[in-house]
Amino acid sequence: MTAGHTAIVTGANHGIGAATAEALAQRGCAVLCTFLRVQDPPDPGTPEAYRDGRAQDGASVVARIAAAGGRAMAVEADLSDPAAPAMLFDAAEGQLGPVDILVNNATGWLADTFAPLPTDRLGRSLRAVSAASWEQQFRVDAMGAALMISEYARRHRSRGADWGRIIGLTSGGDLGFPEEVSYGAAKAAQTNYTMSAALELAPFGVTANMVYPPVTDTGWVTDAVRAEVAARRELIHIASPAEVAEVIAYLASEEAALITGNVIVLR
């Protein structure tokens, strides 16, 4: 159970982040839902539902949590800003209590490539790897996540806490992430930071893990995606955000004390 704890969930305005915030709140956890509204340009390979989800604020998530009797607040923050972590932790501590659960879910997702292709295999627009694409991805998925962990660790140690949970989300693999090159590389960096946190913060009662979801329908799944999943034996399920959130919520629970330093692959 997570009753009596306080969590920050990043990217909590839609998809896995929103589902995780609700799952934690259902278990008695107070939740700060942080988000950044993103206006993605129209793309023939990306459904409007996905773009709409990225553009909304966190008010509807907080309203659903409150209607179910939970405690939550929403704060908009750009995790590419180094000042964001301190602001978010201050906000959570001021209204909800000391943060002992951190879920690094937010992403600066884009599709970029080294190959001169206009679209990826799913029909989504591609761009060439550039300083701009690298910065958009790494400032959120790598730097932002690392600074959130650092702020968490500093405050955890300063108050003498002895229990905590850090969970991140990843994708890609040992052979990179073709057609999502910077995304895969930034997630690899976040994984490395999180594994270091698992070892360095273990003496302070903190576990740290990464979750690698299966294809998850956060609004971007099209018929082309479904066909891709059906054609590849290693892609077994198309998950819902709520299914992934249940795994994250378990990792944030008291019962998951022995699970740390892992990349947990869901299929």
Please list the active-site residues.
183
Of 126, 229, 258, 227, nearest in space to 181 by CA: 126
Kindly state the tokens that stand for 254.
């008291």
Q: What is the sign, positive or negative, of the torsion defined by CA atoms of 34, 81, 164, 240? A: positive
Give the other-Cβ count within 10 Å of 34's Cβ.
31
Beta-strand ranges (E) seen in the chain are 6-10, 30-35, 72-76, 101-104, 112-113, 127-128, 164-169, 206-212, 215-216, 238-239, 263-265
Query: 213 with 16: CB under 8 angstroms?
Result: yes
Kindly state the tokens that stand for 112.
């970029």
Each residue of 176-204: b (16+ CB within 10 Å) or e? ebebbbbbbbbbbbbbebbbebbeebeee
Query: 217 with 239: CB under 8 angstroms?
Result: yes
